[in-house]
Chain A
Amino acid sequence: MLYLRLFWEFFKTGLFAVGGGMATIPFLYNMGAATGWFTDNDVANMIAVGESTPGPIGINMATYVGYITGQGQYGAPGALLGAVTATLGLITPSVIVILIIAAFLKSFRDSKYVQSAFYGLRPASTGLIAAAGLSVVVSNLFFADTLTQGFGPAFFNWKGWILALALWVLTNKVKQTKSLHPIIFILGSAVTGILLGM
């Protein structure tokens, strides 16, 4: 049954995504590939919607995934149930784990094992997000389907590269703009996308 599977997939994500909302992104890619509920492009759209709306980004993405998955199967009423199911699935493991940890808070924090697990977990979690980022880059900055006609300039999404470079400079190098909220850059990119027909 779809909703049980949806709950279970998000339960696993909530249990193994360590380090907050961004850490759920590789799980979303994996879920889309394994279930066929949504495409890589959908995930990239979800990240943008999750960043530019109120609420924690991880929750926003889960709600969005649940919504479109439920909608795909059962229309509008199914969509709402899907949104609720995915979100509850994502938060259930957190709530259970935290309620247990709260019982022996101090010993958890000071535990040698917890500290040393994080020595390995942090770079692994970063690596997973990097791989997810690479998928977004490959599917949006290159046109893989042009390779059937051979490698050439048509392989590159030139407009995309120029926009990406401009955004990178604005978010890293320009003092006046680098601390602006991501929503500004997302909206600016939407406008650029419409003007340039991206």
Chain B
Amino acid sequence: MNILLDMFVTFAKVGVMTFGGGYAMLPVLQREVVENKGWAAEEELMDYFAIGQCTPGIIAVNTATFIGQKKKGVAGGIIATLGVVFPSLVIISLLAGVITAFSHLAWVNHAFGGIRICVCVLILNAVVKLYKKAVVDRVTLAVFLIVSLGSYFLPVSPIIFIVLAAALGIVLQNIKGGK
């Protein structure tokens, strides 16, 4: 089979088997890409995954682009990425059509009323988990508080907070480093 086609199919498989966030993808990638295809070594995958978490965008997409690029250059990076998002496009489009068609029914609205409560708890759990890794001292605590309150109460784009926080991190860390 053509390697690019093989890549598209393999990453589409990874996309189907990933439920939820990027972290769920790691074991699937290990099996499909490292063990079955041998496209990347275990350590390379861990490196890609680590960098994928700290570069903009979806972790799954970032990791797929890395592996595809390594194997087959720019074309490989693009094909692997399109492969990983393809199942989402198909499944969600089908599902969104169904949901909007039935959204006028009372019981569907009640179901989503319950589901949104669950979303509250899921986001709370995600925030607690991220908080433990991100807030390590008084400065990071201040950043967390200012950004969460600022973003909630002010009509400011999240982009502003992200850019300022990155700049603050660079300035503060390098002042410390200079002492």
Q: Which residues of A contact B (CB under 8 A)?
A: 12, 14-22, 24-27, 30, 33, 41, 44-45, 47-51, 53-60, 63-64, 67-68, 71, 76, 79-80, 83-84, 87, 90-91, 93-95, 97-99, 101-102, 105, 108-109, 112-137, 140-141, 160, 163-164, 167-168, 171-172, 181-183, 185-186, 188-194, 196-198
Contact = CB atoms under 8 A, between A and B. Distances in A.
A133 B58 contact: no
Given A126-B135, A193-B112, A196-B114, 16 more contacts: A16-B162, A21-B59, A49-B95, A51-B119, A57-B21, A59-B85, A63-B93, A67-B96, A79-B93, A83-B93, A140-B119, A168-B121, A172-B125, A185-B118, A190-B114, A191-B111
B115 A197 contact: no
Given A67-B96, A94-B62, A120-B170, A18 B123 contact: no
Given A22-B21, A59-B60, A117-B170, A136 B135 contact: no
Interface of B is mostly: helix
B117 A171 contact: no
Interface residues of B, number: 98
29 contacts: A20-B59, A22-B126, A27-B158, A41-B116, A59-B61, A59-B89, A60-B91, A67-B97, A79-B96, A83-B93, A91-B61, A94-B65, A99-B65, A101-B51, A102-B65, A108-B51, A109-B50, A115-B173, A116-B170, A119-B140, A120-B170, A122-B140, A125-B134, A129-B127, A136-B119, A186-B115, A188-B118, A189-B118, A193-B117
A37 to B, nearest CB: 14
A45 B15 contact: no
Contact of B116 (A48, A95, A134): A48
B18 A55 contact: yes
Contacts of B65: 94-95, 98-99, 102
B41 interface: no
Contacts of B96: 49, 63-64, 67-68, 71, 79, 83
Contact of A45 (B53, B112, B133, B145): B112
B61 A141 contact: no
